[in-house]
A = this chain, B = another copy of it.
Amino acid sequence: MGQINELQHRMGKKTIKLVDASGNPVVDQEVSLTHTNHQFLFGSGIFDAVRVANATDTTENLSYLEDKMDKFFDVFNFGTLPFYWGGFEPEKGNPKTKELKAAAQYLKDRNRNMTVKGHPLCWHTGTAPWLLDMSNEEILKAQFDRIERDVTDFKGLIDMWDVINEVVIMPIFDKYDNGITRISKDLGRVGIVKEMFAKTRESNPNATLLLNDFNTSINYEILIDGCLSAGVPIDAIGIQSHQHQGYWGREKLEQVLERFSHFGLPIHFTENTLISGHIMPAEIEDLNDYQIPEWPSTPEYEARQAKEVEEMYSILFKHPLVEAITNWTFSDDGAWLGAPAGFLRSDNSPKPAYNTLKRLIKQDWNTNLTVKTDSDGMLTFEGFLGDYDLVCGDKKATLQLDKNSETVKLVI
């Protein structure tokens, strides 16, 4: 039972007094408990939800996308939607609020336990091109207005945001001019993080706010240290892990976890990539520079991907501070750089990695048990944190298992 001990932080124990509608204890009855949802967030980028929810595609394509979405809902309880400013508001004053609201609502309707995250509120890449015509003062005001508008509009549907993305490189990003790099030079790295978090927090005080970066070096450590010392209310540290150039491996992964654990904050793996094709040559510095006509998914590499997924997710799930893992690309269809980075192939067929992850989430890290209430209607059970269905005869109730071990009364 070594595994159980290593996962003790993911488990809870609860004592329930089961009573019927009249308040009488349900004594000496068999009760089945089924884990229906993890407290841990297993997620994916799920940008297709926008097209599906708004039916903005051909019938054939929509049917294809709906099949893809079904496979997403079979495994995940967490989805990231795109709020890249340039795409969200290509024309100033005409944001795609309606379309994104429909997408978030669709995700919640399909799974009431779904957590939806917006990505990102502030980033130099993919930002609104019309910022370039503004003064720096105007850009900053527009960025504040954008945060206030969108975070307010989506409150209740989206209460988790990647507030600001890739700040380490932001002021020295030199591939092209953009409004956000301009203001980050004025404000400094910690300064821009501070401003964006303050505005987001003001607009949704209860939201979970992330800082997110692909830089996992000492640079990012010092940036976080600086932000926390400056009082920035970071709720979780976002770590990207696009591994197109090969799986980090246990050693690097554990080293990154150790270094970013010093802050004692929750850690989210926000953008994970493990591919099922040949790996990108190590000499490519900016992943965007690797452009090839075809990057096939092969059986051999799909087996490797599944093995890497199993090891990586297991290491992260065992770490007490990790609270979320997002696989960036759910399907090879439309994947960034054309990489075979999905859990599904382009034809929606599941790769071994998909089945591996489904097994981990739905079997290995799952609790399904039958217990018997005692002569006072009491039962005690231990299991993975999250949501449960409790069934007793033809009666059913739902309950949540968390770290609070107080006895609860449940009416069935």
Q: Interface of A with B (CB < 8 Å)?
A: 168, 172, 185, 188-191, 194, 218-219, 222-223, 225-231, 262-263
A191 near B229 with CB under 8 A, answer: yes
State which of B172, B194, B222 has its C-beta within 8 Å of the C-beta of A168: B222
10 contacts between A and B (CB under 8 A): A168-B222, A172-B218, A190-B229, A190-B230, A191-B225, A191-B229, A194-B229, A222-B226, A226-B226, A230-B230
Distance of A257 from chain B, by nearest CB (Å):
16
Contacts of A231 in B (CB 8 A): 230
In the bound complex, what is the Cα–Cα distance between A228 and B190 (angstroms)?
9
Q: Which of B188, B223, B228 contacts A262 (CB 8 A)?
A: B188
- Minimum CB–CB distance from A229 to chain B (whole Å) comes to 4
CA distance A262 to B184 in the complex (A): 12
Nearest residue in B to A220 (C-beta to C-beta)?
Answer: B222
**Min C-beta distance of A321 to chain B, whole Å:** 16
Minimum CB distance partner of A259 in chain B: B172
A172 to B185, CA, bound (A): 29
Q: Are A229 and B172 in contact (CB under 8 A)?
A: no
* Nearest CB in chain B: distance from A254 CB, A: 16
Cβ of A262: which chain B residues have Cβ within 8 Å of it? Answer: 185, 188
In the complex, besides A188-B263, A226-B229, A229-B230, 7 extra interface pairs with C-beta distance below 8 angstroms are A189-B222, A190-B225, A190-B228, A190-B230, A222-B223, A226-B227, A229-B229
- Chain B residues with Cβ under 8 A from A226's Cβ? 190, 222-223, 225-227, 229-230
**What chain B residues lie within 8 Å of A263 (beta carbons)?**
188
A171 nearest CB neighbor, chain B only = B262
Shortest A267–chain B CB gap in Å is: 16
Most chain B CB within a 10 A radius of its CB, from A172, A230, A262: A230
B residues in contact with A225, CB < 8 Å:
188-191, 226
| CA distance in complex: A230, B185 (Å) | 18
* Residue of A168, A172, A188 with most partner-chain B CB within 10 A: A188
Chain B nearest CB: distance from A224 CB in Å? 9
* Complex Cα spacing A185 to B264, Å: 13
Q: Determine the residue in chain B with the shortest Cβ distance to A230.
A: B229
Give the shortest distance, in Å, between A164 (CB) and chain B (any CB). Answer: 14
Instruction: Point out the residues of chain B lying under 8 angstroms from A228, CB to CB.
Output: 188, 190
Q: Which residues of B contact A230 (CB under 8 A)?
A: 190, 226, 229-231
Measured CB to CB, the closest approach of chain B to A227, in angstroms, equals: 7
The complex places the Cα of A227 from the Cα of B226 at a distance, in Å, of: 6
- Within the complex, the shortest CB–CB distance from A378 to chain B, in Å, comes to 45
Q: Given the complex, which residues of B lie within 8 Å of A223, measured CB to CB? A: 222, 226
Q: Which 8 A-B pairs have the closest CB atoms?
A: A226-B226, A190-B229, A229-B230, A230-B230, A188-B225, A222-B222, A190-B225, A190-B226
Q: Which residues of B contact A218 (CB under 8 A)?
A: 168, 172, 219
| Residue of chain B at shortest CB distance from A188 | B225
Q: Give A172 to B227 CA distance when docked, in angstroms.
A: 20
A229 contacts which chain B residues (CB < 8 A)? Answer: 188, 190-191, 194, 226-227, 229-230
CB distance from A217 to the nearest CB of B (A): 8
> With A and B bound together, what is the CA distance between A226 and B172 in angstroms?
17
